[in-house]
Amino acid sequence: MVLMASSNLLAQEQPYLLTLDQALDYALQHNRTLLNARDQVTSSKERVKETLAQGLPQIDGSLDFMTYFNYEMNFSFGGTGDEMDIDYSVLDAGDVEVLSALGQMFGSSEPIIMDNQMSGKVQVSQLLFSGQYYAGVQTAKIALRLADESLIMSELEVKEMVTNTYYVTLLTEETLRVIKENLNNVNTITELTNNMYKAGLMEATDVDQLKITASQLKNNQQSIERSIQLNYNLLKFQLGIAPDAEITLADNLDWVLSSINPQAVLLMDYDVTGNINYRMAESQVLLSKKQLDIQNWAYAPMVAGFYSYTKKIITTGFDLTPEHLAGFNVSVPIFSSGMRRSRVSQARIDLNIAERDKEKMREQLETQKRQLLFNYQSAYENFNTQKESVDVAGRVLASITNKYRQGIVSSLDLTQANTNYLNAENSYLTSILTLLQAQTALQKLFSTI
């Protein structure tokens, strides 16, 4: 048991090395929202079976036992039996037995003891006709379709969240790498400046200025490290991974940049009828139509048949219940004071609302497509601009650093150039993230994520 526990502990401590595709696959299998959505689909399937079963044969059994606690029943009605003037010579044996029983009932005061009773019953019933039943089965199937589509929508949303969080984490780590590299350069220059100050070639303010810059970079580094940890916690939550597990991203910035393909994104075919939101709106219209059918069928009669068999296990001499019974029932709605008419009107109004919502969804999706394409194109143009800016800022920083070492420029010029470079890097990485998020939003809209 100790060895097994140790093995499980080591398995839990093993870090997850995930590419974006692997992260998406893992999320689809373990995300708790998706697990609930799949259970909803399973529940809808069972609901369809339940609705179908209502129109299939139903078999019910019962076992009844009754005791009268030896109750004495007296059927005497005050007569003695001596008053009847009957010529017995003209009666046969059966007539005499009947008269004797009648005499006991009406003329005798002898009580009858009620015995215990026990019987077993099996009844088979079958719905023969019900328009509401058939409409209800179709409604349950449409509800299952909606549950399937809701699962697809949840999968798209989870994919979008995981993708964006993966990108944010990756780019935040790249930001941390840039900060660390810049901090190392500033520390090297600060040490060089301090040596030159000791040699009398620099002023103390130059050293102090560089130390302040290094301190600010150190604070930024710590803040970014905390942000990275928060991003990893969010990613683990979205993936359905335990909070104490370790995750490592297998992809890098070069892979992220290679995934940017504006030509493919801007030329993607788009059909609004394939969008999951529009498909759900269509299913809602169908569901409203079936709800209207159910209310219309409330005016129709319902026919059901039954057969029952009762086996007398313990009985009395006065049990007149037959063993076999069969029949059918016809339920005809006649008058409901306008209740059924109001329900039909409500269902028709709900159908009109669902149809308008479907058309509104079509217009919204068309508008959303244009807006997302505009956002993507603008983000791509800004990405190219920021890429050029960071190249220029890097060359300026290298030039200012070289001049500073030669004593041509001051530490203030070097600090400003370094700040400009960090701002350019931050803007560049932000433009990458904005472009990737715009691309992800389009892929979600086109259901290609």
Residue pLDDT, tens place only, 61-97: 999 888 878 777 665 555 554 555 666 666 677 666 6
Of 447, 270, 437, the closest CA to residue 370 belongs to 270
Distance of alpha carbon 429 from alpha carbon 390, whole angstroms: 10
| pLDDT the model gives residue 10 | 46
| pLDDT the model gives residue 83 | 52
| pLDDT the model gives residue 187 | 93
Q: Give me the DSSP letters along 273-292.
A: GGSHHHHHHHHHHHHHHHHH
Distance of alpha carbon 186 from alpha carbon 169, whole angstroms: 25
3-class state of residue 91 by DSSP: coil
3-class state of residue 181 by DSSP: helix
| Six-digit token string for 5 | 């526990």
Of 309, 287, 362, the closest CA to residue 121 belongs to 309
Residue 107 amino acid letter = G
Of 226, 168, 255, 238, the closest CA to residue 16 belongs to 238
Distance of alpha carbon 342 from alpha carbon 61, whole angstroms: 39
Element containing residue 262 per DSSP (H, E): helix 262-266
Q: Are 107 and 79 in contact (CB under 8 A)?
A: yes
Q: Hey, what domains does the chain have and what are their CATH numbers?
A: 14-64+128-301+335-445 (1.20.1600.10), 75-110 (no CATH)
Q: Are 323 and 309 in contact (CB under 8 A)?
A: yes
| pLDDT the model gives residue 9 | 45
Residues of the chain scoring pLDDT < 70: 1-14, 73-91, 94-112, 316-320
Q: What is the pTM of this model?
A: 0.81
- CA quadruple 44, 50, 51, 56: dihedral sign: positive
Q: What is the mean pLDDT of the chain?
A: 87
| pLDDT the model gives residue 69 | 81
In a 10 Å sphere around its CB, with 0-12 CB exposed, 13-18 middle and 19+ buried, how is residue 181 labelled? Answer: exposed
- Helices 276-296, 131-198: axis angle to 10 degrees equals 160
Q: Are 294 and 170 in contact (CB under 8 A)?
A: no
Taking only the tens place, the pLDDT of each residue in 3-55 is: 555 555 444 556 889 999 999 999 999 999 999 999 999 999 999 999 999 99
